Amino acid sequence: MRRLVAVALIVAFVTTATVTAPRRAVATDNLVYIIPAAVSGVLVIALVVAILFANRTKEPELDLVQALPPRPERPALLRFGQACRRPTGEIPLLCW
């Protein structure tokens, strides 16, 4: 039984040591990562520059708001004081 406990402790110690010990750093010079990162960086910079220097003037043929007809004026449903004077001269607070 002591041998089994000793073997279990040794296995546990070796496993713990290999898990907690840092691995050697490996430098990667893989162009699979470098080239897309460089291309996307250039595209992002070009997009930011294009947004900053964009011409922000409106073109009349593209402005849809001017093409809409104006809303017809509707009479107010609720009016105040002077707008609804009674024939007797009294001024009510509200009228409709």
Write out the chain's pLDDT in tens, 96 residues: 678 788 888 888 888 888 787 777 777 677 777 888 899 999 999 988 888 887 666 666 666 666 667 778 777 677 777 777 778 878 777 777
Q: What is the pLDDT of residue 40?
A: 92
Q: What is the pLDDT of residue 92?
A: 78
Give the DSSP letter string of 11-80. HHHHHHHHHHSPPPP-----HHHHHHHHHHHHHHHHHHHHHHT---PPPGGG-STTTSPPPPP---SSEE
Q: What is the pLDDT of residue 66?
A: 63
